[in-house]
Structure 1
């Protein structure tokens, strides 16, 4: 009996809480949100919420979150919880900056991947070989990475020109590019502020304007991950280790090997996200540069139900809210309060349709408070704007947690031969 014969039914039978949207339904939801956003833009006059610059900034900020989420996806699909993504990103920022300063940005990218993978090796040894609790090991990696990079910075960057114990010297840029003709045309269309048309132009314009080569690579890794994990025998065996490692072992799968490979790839993705922060998002390494993006990447992965497409949408959402800090945040966040209040009205209707009266009443109360907040203020405090990405993370996780299904053996200890 082949591996595919046994493992496929498990992959095709999600649990009760699984959330699956067909592509047409998903496109309808996205279209509905775009229409509502355009209506809110016209009501509030906050044209910046769908501007080309806003979307371009959102994409740049979404990339490291998405890469961390992809790292978590690889690890958890093999059954290893990777809370250490934040630490692996920190290692990626430092190693990327250190090598990028000395030998060029592309070398820095390679060393960033290696730095994240080194942290992942420690996590794999602890969790796979010694069965240490995955959460404990991940937290230890985060603490170790933070302390290690601060120690290394003191005798590498401190004595370098324009460097310090908390900052590296400037790193050469990878460069950026636009798609000729298309970028300028979409930007012109966006600036006309037409209903829906200009909003779509702003969204598409942000995807083709001021692109870094590493951004293109990162975006391409999303479909590449889906293809490898869901369309190859390697991916099927790896996912079987996260669903039922005992059954996988009985079919000849080397569970330890696949878990090690998945965790190391996970660290490489997180390290790449860290290198993106220090080389592309800014041209220096800064102490505390990741700012919790490894954890937000985990939130994006959970929001996406451990699927690459959903993960990409989650990273885009978090990247967009993060971009509000940089481009007219107070005005734009004030407009988004109205958008959120309207979306909650639709949520009330959905809950009533599902005959869930109590949640519907709570949602209606929250929606009313959002409307009152919007009508009684002109803009929100800057402190709230800075906290928006983290508030959105908490809201998304709390609202979606009841409709998710993680791999069945995710985080569970495994010993070779335990099924005998």
Structure 2
């Protein structure tokens, strides 16, 4: 079987979603955003927006979102929409905590992955074998996972020391570490509050400070996913199932097998994200612990245009907004209103350059409202800080929707031999 022939369904499509930024352009955009952020920090005095502690918290908040996003990426590249990521994360939190409490945190991580895979098997049977609507099946998994974990908690945690019907006993830590020398040097540099240099030091310092071993594993899974899906014959066949399963079947690919594998791997990633929440992020299982992160992970995958690199950027953005809530960042969110105003001005200028005058005018008007809001207030309500991850999710998806291209057969029903 020729892999070049199977690659035909993956050929780049013209039009929607076909345009991608080159690496130099992307680096210029990131550099511009860093410069604007540094300017805003100097104007507002909100040094916390780029502090090492803030970035370290953001990385920890981004990991479960990114793992859920990777789970969605694997499933949807094979043509299966996985709305059930939230439920699979819930299963990961409970099974991870249950096993971690009894046999240690690393056992909890493995069992948490298996818990997510359990939910994924149910989703695969429903969608792949019985052709149930993918959205309906995913929602059912979410509801079922929530009910099962609440029911099991009453029998496993309620009578334990320091546990309850809604909370597990504490779980032993996996431990944390810093990169020797580099972490302290970057933190010292960040505390100088110099223009741009201190902001870069804070960003990089957050990536090498207070790390959990599971954080390192999760970050490594992003390039590993890219390599498997885009540089191996296995990944090529799997992606062909999400683009044109009939053509893939005609070339000898067992479409059912690859869809099942993709969905189960997807559940494993989501379960790992759930285990991270209960073992690393808080060291206990809590009812409602996922807080919609499965859905935000799905949003980060869409924002990343079904690519691992873009997904990682999206998870980092959502993780950063979540970290503002975790660190009580009402002042920081107020400063970011000014940053948003500057970004909107830049966006309006870009639209004028593209001769899209009506959208440019609307964008400029919204930017003006941001500047007025910043100038007439001293801080934002705490409720807005808590809602900021979800607001950012809606804004990002709204702005990026016109430049996305999902796999062609994503969510479509498939029956073996339907092309004959």
TM-score grouping bracket, smaller chain normalisation: over 0.9
Task: Tell me the residue number matched to 1:170.
Answer: 170
Give me the whole-angstrom Cα distance separating, in 1, the residues matched to 2:125 and 2:28: 45
Spell out the pairing of 1:222-233 with structure 2 (5 A cutoff): 222-233=222-233
Task: Tell me the residue number matched to 2:38.
Answer: 38
Give me the whole-angstrom Cα distance separating, in 1, the residues matched to 2:123 and 2:245: 19
SS at match of 1:322: helix
- The answer (yes or no) to whether the contact 2:6–2:251 under 8 Å persists in 1 is no
TM-score between both structures, scaled by the size of structure 1: 0.99
Spell out the pairing of 1:15-414 with structure 2 (5 A cutoff): 15-18=14-17, 19-414=19-414
Task: Tell me the residue number matched to 1:11.
Answer: 10
Give me the whole-angstrom Cα distance separating, in 2, the residues matched to 1:12 and 1:253: 18
SS at match of 1:396: helix
Give me the whole-angstrom Cα distance separating, in 1, the residues matched to 2:15 and 2:6: 19
Using the TM superposition, give the Cα deviation of residue 141 of structure 1 relative to its aligned residue in structure 2, in angstroms: 0.1
Using the TM superposition, give the Cα deviation of residue 328 of structure 1 relative to its aligned residue in structure 2, in angstroms: 4.2
Post-superposition Cα deviations, 1:284-341, rounded to whole Å, max 9, x if no partner, equal 0000000000000000000000000000000000000000012241110011000000
Post-superposition Cα deviations, 1:255-300, rounded to whole Å, max 9, x if no partner, equal 0000000000000000000000000000100000000000000000
* Structure 2 stretches lacking a partner, 5+ long: none
Give me the whole-angstrom Cα distance separating, in 1, the residues matched to 2:98 and 2:366: 48
SS at match of 1:208: coil
Give me the whole-angstrom Cα distance separating, in 2, the residues matched to 1:174 and 1:374: 42
Using the TM superposition, give the Cα deviation of residue 7 of structure 1 relative to its aligned residue in structure 2, in angstroms: 3.0
Post-superposition Cα deviations, 1:186-227, rounded to whole Å, max 9, x if no partner, equal 000000000000000000000000000000000000000000
Post-superposition Cα deviations, 1:222-241, rounded to whole Å, max 9, x if no partner, equal 00000000000000000000
Give me the whole-angstrom Cα distance separating, in 2, the residues matched to 1:400 and 1:277: 28
- The answer (yes or no) to whether the contact 1:178–1:211 under 8 Å persists in 2 is yes
Using the TM superposition, give the Cα deviation of residue 356 of structure 1 relative to its aligned residue in structure 2, in angstroms: 1.4
Using the TM superposition, give the Cα deviation of residue 24 of structure 1 relative to its aligned residue in structure 2, in angstroms: 1.2
* Structure 1 stretches lacking a partner, 5+ long: none
- The answer (yes or no) to whether the contact 1:82–1:138 under 8 Å persists in 2 is yes
Using the TM superposition, give the Cα deviation of residue 15 of structure 1 relative to its aligned residue in structure 2, in angstroms: 4.2
Give me the whole-angstrom Cα distance separating, in 2, the residues matched to 1:15 and 1:140: 36
Give me the whole-angstrom Cα distance separating, in 2, the residues matched to 1:168 and 1:371: 46
- The answer (yes or no) to whether the contact 1:48–1:328 under 8 Å persists in 2 is no
Post-superposition Cα deviations, 1:96-130, rounded to whole Å, max 9, x if no partner, equal 00000000000000000000000000000000000
Give me the whole-angstrom Cα distance separating, in 2, the residues matched to 1:62 and 1:141: 23
Post-superposition Cα deviations, 1:360-408, rounded to whole Å, max 9, x if no partner, equal 1111111111010001111101110110000000000111111100000
SS at match of 2:207: helix
Tell me: CA distance 1:15–1:105, structure 2 relative to 1, closer, same or farther (3 Å). Answer: farther
TM-score between both structures, scaled by the size of structure 2: 0.99
Moved over 4 A (4+): none
SS at match of 1:325: helix
Post-superposition Cα deviations, 1:146-171, rounded to whole Å, max 9, x if no partner, equal 00000000000001111000000000
Tell me: CA distance 1:328–1:154, structure 2 relative to 1, closer, same or farther (3 Å). Answer: closer
SS at match of 1:223: helix
Give me the whole-angstrom Cα distance separating, in 2, the residues matched to 1:14 and 1:307: 15
- The answer (yes or no) to whether the contact 1:324–1:332 under 8 Å persists in 2 is yes
- The answer (yes or no) to whether the contact 1:304–1:314 under 8 Å persists in 2 is yes
SS at match of 2:160: coil
- The answer (yes or no) to whether the contact 2:176–2:210 under 8 Å persists in 1 is yes
What is the total number of aligned residue pairs between the two structures?
419
C-alpha RMSD over aligned residues: 0.8
Give me the whole-angstrom Cα distance separating, in 2, the residues matched to 1:35 and 1:328: 24
Give me the whole-angstrom Cα distance separating, in 2, the residues matched to 1:7 and 1:307: 19
Q: Which moved more, 1:121-130 or 1:361-370?
A: 361-370
